[in-house]
Chain A
Amino acid sequence: MARHKKTSDSEMLQGTLDMLILKTLVMGPAHGHTIAHVIEQASEDFLQVEQGSLYPALHRLEDRGWLSSFWGASENNRKARFYKLTAAGKRQLAQETSRWRQIVRAIGLVIGEEEA
């Protein structure tokens, strides 16, 4: 039972992973590890990202021009690859966010009010 739930959760998550990554980077550049943790913590530990799947997503976003990357120093002064939101990325984030809210609202309407 628990295993089922996890699968469907993470499936939904993958679809929106791009959006979550872009949102995380609004507050400034970060490297992969930080992004993973921020997503976890900001969602009150509900969204458990499989950290490995982060990197193909980051690679893809960079390729589309929504992110740019550079090598910099991490917290403990080791070399890490940082990702930064680009202007195009900001626009993309706004687009995806509004789309997401529309979807959520529509689904909410279909499902009906939450029984208290």
Chain B
Amino acid sequence: MRMLRFFFRKRIAEELQREIDEHIELERDLNLERGLNQEEAVRQARIKFGSRQRVREEIWTSNSMMLFEKLRRDLSYAVRTLLRSPGYTILAVITLALGIGANTAIFTVINGVLLRPLPYSDPGRIMHLEQTAIRVGRDRIGFSVQEVQDYRQQAQSFSDLAEYHSMTFTLLGAKVPERVVTGVISANYFDVLGIKPVLGRLIHPSDEKLNAPPVLVLSYAYWVKEFGADPKILGKPFIMKRSGAHRDWSFASFAGVPRCQRCLHAHHIVSFPL
């Protein structure tokens, strides 16, 4: 009830004004009957009523909520003062905007990349290994097959090792031939990371054998984007070409779609075993 009064203060005040006027008029009429002249009647009526201003003020105050009032007045004062020196105000606003904006942007990036846990099972235990040859240069160089073998056999601190190599191919068999960034992976890649397929299957160690038919795994994002999440894609043949390579890879079947919306390697991954 109190709150409503506050919001309707103005209307209440207007109605009160009418009420007061009415009252004065009625009293004036009585006075006229008592024999006073017009002027005297009104005057006496007003005297009898008392201070009209005070009545209005009293009721207005009782309808106000002090806290809001004070807050509103302070804010209004602050705005007025700021507007009096516009240059300063504009400068301050711009500085704040830049600061807040930059902060937000940086945090969003860091949050997305760094702070959120990786969508693999047991992300705390996943390690990414790279090596560089300091004498040759600062760029990363890959691991040779022998090195990988050595790691697999000799390293004590890893429960399992998976390989990943990024290459670019041209994919045929989609609507248009498209260059896709491809991850070339060892067969246990998905197992190590703990990813489950949405459709079909992922890559197994059996695919790594020399005579096994080559298979392709599509990333979720690519699947949705290019094929509209069409489940009939399973088994569809694709051809991957690489310019300058000594052979084209032709794929008889397309295995599955890994279930990870936001993997670490989330470009159009089309992965196939080494």
Interface residues of A (CB under 8 A from B): 31-33, 36, 50-53, 55-56, 59-60, 63, 65, 74, 76, 78-81
Contacts and interface: CB of A to CB of B under 8 A. Distances in A.
The majority secondary structure among interface residues of chain B is helix
State the 7 A-B residue pairs at the shortest beta-carbon distance, nearest first.
Answer: A52-B50, A33-B26, A52-B55, A56-B58, A50-B50, A51-B49, A33-B23
A50 B58 CA distance: 14
A79 to B, nearest CB: 7
15 contacts: A33-B22, A33-B27, A36-B23, A50-B49, A51-B49, A52-B50, A52-B55, A53-B50, A53-B55, A56-B58, A65-B1, A76-B26, A78-B25, A80-B19, A81-B22
A39 B51 CA distance: 20
Contacts of B22: 31, 33, 74, 78-81
Interface string B1-15: 110010000000001
A13 B2 CA distance: 26
B58 A63 contact: no
B19 A32 contact: yes
Contacts of B58: 56
Given A33-B23, A81-B15, A51 B50 contact: yes
Interface of B: 1-2, 5, 15-16, 18-20, 22-23, 25-27, 29, 48-52, 54-55, 58-59, 62
A26 B2 CA distance: 26
Contacts of B20: 55
Nearest to B56: A55
Contacts of A52: 49-52, 54-55
B49 A60 contact: no
A59 B59 contact: yes
A59 B50 contact: no
Contacts of A31: 22
Contacts of B49: 50-52
Contacts of A76: 26, 29
B240 to A, nearest CB: 80
A80 B59 CA distance: 18
Specify which of B1, B23, B48, B51 lies most central, judged by the most chain A CB atoms within 10 Å of its CB.
B23
Contact of B62 (A59, A65, A78): A59
Contacts of B50: 50-53
A60 B27 contact: no
B22 to A, nearest CB: 5
Given A63-B1, A63-B5, A55 B16 contact: yes
